[in-house]
Amino acid sequence: MTTQTQKRILVVEDDQALNMALVEKLKDADYVVDTTFDGEKGLEVALAKKPDLILLDLLMPVMDGYEFMTSLRADEWGNTAKVIILTNFSMSEEKVAQTVIDKKPLSFLVKSSTKLKHLVGYIKEALSSK
């Protein structure tokens, strides 16, 4: 049961092992967590449940993170939704850099250099800011 103080996070990540690890870590940190494995379902859940924060991979089946961000930002609620991109891509890749500039995620984190315990810290910080 969700309490008034619990924040809802949506994890949109197609790597099942990482997805489950993120869900477990976030639930341990007392977040309510919804999860999907592709961008299309993720967008559907995001617009229906309006989570406090979305953790988004860029390279996914059905709808990738770029399309997800474009569709999300076109929605009245989604235009200001908090999104942290968690990907294996680096900012040096042109399409990634353009997505980050145009779609204004809160953070851009590279999976290989982000530990789960630090990710929870980023999320707490993001949710405490307006």
Distance CA 109, CA 103 (A): 15
Which 3 state secondary structure label does DSSP give 35?
A: strand
Q: Are strands 53-56 and 107-110 parallel, antiparallel or unpaired?
A: unpaired
The answer to whether the beta carbons of residues 38 and 18 sit under 8 Å apart is no
pTM: 0.81
pLDDT score of 128: 84
Distance CA 121, CA 118 (A): 5
Which 3 state secondary structure label does DSSP give 97?
A: helix
Q: Are strands 83-87 and 107-110 parallel, antiparallel or unpaired?
A: parallel
Cα torsion for 29, 7, 72, 49, to the nearest 10°? 120
CA 95 to chain centre: 18
CATH topology of domain 8-128: Rossmann fold (3.40.50)
Distance CA 35, CA 31 (A): 12
Where along the chain do its domains lie? 8-128
Give the tens place of pLDDT for each residue, 90-119: 545 555 555 555 656 656 556 666 677 777
Give the tens place of pLDDT for each residue, 2-30: 545 789 999 999 889 888 988 999 999 99
pLDDT at 77 over 90: yes
Give the tens place of pLDDT for each residue, 41-63: 999 999 999 999 999 988 787 88
